[in-house]
Amino acid sequence: MAGGGLREIKSRIKSVQNTRQITKAMKMVAAAKLRRAQERAEAARPYAEKMREVVMSIAAGTSGAKHPMLESRPVKKTGYVVITSDRGLAGGYNANVLRLVARTIAERHNSKDEYTIIALGRKGRDFFKKRGYPLADEFVNLSDSPTFADIKSIARNAVQLFADGKIDELYLVYNKFVSAIQQVPTELRLLPLAEIEKVEGTPTYDFEPSADEVLADLLPKYAETLIFSALLDAKASEQGARMTAMGNATDNATDMIERLTLFYNRARQAAITQEIAEIVGGASALE
């Protein structure tokens, strides 16, 4: 192989080594963020479960409770809150959720008038806009460590769409965190809450001034809690998916470097052998 070919291989090895340094650094950053995100997601779940328990107890035990969020009506239009990431390089994290949404919409709806989407995350927003899905609202550039205040406007807008009759049911679609290597695309019904039933063993509570007034105050907070818990799960899933993807990329880069180095050494050895043969051949011709 000519010297130019060897230089090209050596340059490619250097390029892959630089890429490996980047993917390795990204894996370490994602691992650090994952620990914090996982702790927050796990800490939020007991609060969300207790909130659900209390709401179920009141809704099931209060006869004739009136609240827009409890109102069940014929479904003419459905809303979907879809949580994706703002950045890529996270393996199938975004694709899995978007595939679930696209499949669900294709199965349930016959026209764009029957649904609308609230997109959380740039990847989802861009996906829906590019394909002409109707968007009711969009939120991008959310922090990797979101606070409860970050989702209040999201929850308020979603609940208001339902209360105003612009949608008749609302679903959350996100990646539920299981482990660093497993994230499950999940659909969760958020509104209405008319089908809530009291689970056996749920405690009975006494409320002042009245159960209806407490329920009116709790239901919006319940929606906020579900969205916040789902967002924390999604952020933990994103970091887990990114850590796994960058780990795989680093391993692939290492394998590629080994193959290119072996090829380079063989090509270099062949070039040296050829040069020696030419020298020997030239010396023999002079005798």
DSSP notation for 88-147: --STTHHHHHHHHHHHHHHHH-SSGGGEEEEEESHHHHHHHHHTT--EEEEE----SS--
> pLDDT: is 63 or 42 the higher one?
42
Report pLDDT digits (tens) over 105-151: 999 999 999 999 999 999 999 999 999 999 999 999 988 888 888 88
Q: 180 lies in which domain range? A: 25-245
Integer angstrom CA distances of residue 174 from 9, 81, 95, 192, 228:
43, 8, 11, 19, 11
Domain total in the chain: 1
Cis peptide before 192 (omega within 30 of 0): yes
Q: Please list the alpha-helical segments (H only) found in the chain.
A: 3-61, 93-108, 122-130, 148-163, 211-286
Is 195 inside any structural domain?
Answer: yes
Is 7 inside any structural domain?
Answer: no
CA distance 119 to 142: 12
User: Quick one: pLDDT at residue 67?
Assistant: 67
Is 20 inside any structural domain?
Answer: no
Mean pLDDT to the nearest integer, 238-248? 94
Q: What is the pTM of this model?
A: 0.84
Is 175 inside any structural domain?
Answer: yes
Q: Which residue in this structure is represented by tokens 């009116």? A: 216
User: Quick one: pLDDT at residue 195?
Assistant: 55
Is 255 inside any structural domain?
Answer: no
| CATH number of domain containing 224 | 3.40.1380.10
Residue 33 has pLDDT above 80, yes or no: yes
Is 266 inside any structural domain?
Answer: no
The token pair that represents 27 in the structure block = 């894996």
CB 97 within 8 A of CB 83: yes
Is 4 inside any structural domain?
Answer: no
Three-state DSSP state, 214: helix
Is 122 inside any structural domain?
Answer: yes
CA distance 279 to 274: 9
CA distance 162 to 247: 42
